[in-house]
Structure 1
Amino acid sequence: MMRAIWNGVVIAETPRTKRVEGNDYFPPESLKREYFTESPSKSLCPWKGVARYYTLTVNGELNPNAAWSYPHPTPLARRIKNHVAFWNGVVVEGTREKKPARQG
């Protein structure tokens, strides 16, 4: 199980993330949304597209722009659409589970 932790609280948890450029991208359904607020900040990655940011609020403390996602990624990055990655003190830990073997 993979977890993203900030300020002593698990803010996202999932069996599998998508790893891109050394970052684990968590699926949108794995986020504990009560800790996330959309930020007006954006940035541009030449191959992934425009990133949107989230500010985390845990136990009354703010961590501005500590999470980001690509809601409309380029075709090369479509596998991380709406997935969220972290930085700025957020600890990502755990072991990614392997994908189930295909049947048939």
Structure 2
Amino acid sequence: MNSPTPSPPPWLHEAREQWRWRGQTRPPFADEPGRGQTSVWDFPRPPVLAPEPREVRIVWGGVPVASTTRAVRVLETAHPPTYYVPWADVARHLLHPTPGGSFCEWKGPARHWSLIDGKRQLPSHAWSYPQPLAGAEALAGCVAFYARGLECTVGGLPATPQPGNFYGGWVTPDLAGPFKGEAGSETW
């Protein structure tokens, strides 16, 4: 018999409850999606993890970093998707652990990674969740990358970094925003 999932501790519950927008309705400032686009304001909060069957490719200055049709896509209100690539589909020798980490109220404690190829470095440019929180278990064997400084594509569509320097979503032409990370988006 399975035991019930324990309730999150109060501090985690408070962190999760701070968000006003949760995907049920689009705010008046949301862009209207064009033909073939999806609004990031229709994504839910808490986030949903979904398989991404399109090819996700990451190249760094001509060096292949990752290629997969088995990525996990995280969809969260106001954010472009973040793509988590199975470690088996990553050029693992390019990633080196970075001291420290971070914590996401939905996914748990993150470990950070630097990309290093000879003298070239992109410090703290990837992250993983080796022991994710309940609901994010599919991320345990994966790693995600910031798009800045990399050539990233999803199903052949070019991806650019989510605005700002904190979040790791990838903006593709099939998305309508605005996106979390832009100036004034702190409370979204």
Same fold per TM (> 0.5)? yes
Unaligned runs of 5+ in 1: 97-104
**Alpha-carbon offset, residue 3 of structure 1:** 1.0
What letter is aligned with 2:152? V
Count how many residue pairs are aligned between Structure 1 and Structure 2.
Answer: 96
Instruction: Give the CA RMSD over aligned residues.
Output: 1.7
After the TM superposition, which residues 1-104 of structure 1 pair with which residues of structure 2 at under 5 Å, given as runs? 1-21=55-75, 22-87=81-146, 88-95=148-155
- Give the superposition deviation at 1:40: 1.1
Give the structure, 1 or 2, with the largest relative contact order (CA under 8 Å, sep 6 or more): 1
- 1:11-45, Cα deviation, whole Å (9 max, x unpaired): 11112211014111000101111111111120000
Shift of 1:5: 1.5
TM-score scaled by structure 1? 0.83
Distance 1:91 1:41 in 2: 26
Counterparts of 2:100 and 2:125, CA distance in 1: 11
Q: Could you list the runs of 5+ residues in structure 2 that have no partner in the other structure?
A: 1-54, 76-80, 157-188
Runs of 4+ in 1 over 4 A off after TM superposition: none
Q: Cα–Cα, structure 1 residues 86 and 54, in superposed 2: closer, same or farther, change >3 Å?
A: same
Letter aligned with residue 121 of structure 2: L
Counting aligned pairs with the same residue, the percent is 34
More strand by share: 1
Contact conserved, 1:67 with 1:86, CA < 8 A, in 2?
yes
Q: Residue 29 of structure 1 aligns to a residue in which SS?
A: helix
How far did 1:52 drift?
0.4
- Structure 1 contact 54–66 (Cα < 8 Å) conserved: yes
The range that moved more, 21-30 or 65-74, is 21-30
User: Matches of 1:59 and 1:7 in 2, distance apart?
Assistant: 12
TM-score by length of 2: 0.48
SS in 2 for 1:75: coil
**Residue range with higher mean Cα deviation, 51-60 or 41-50:** 51-60
* Distance of 2:58 and 2:103 partners within structure 1: 24
CA distance in 2, matches of 1:91, 1:73: 27
Larger Rg: 2
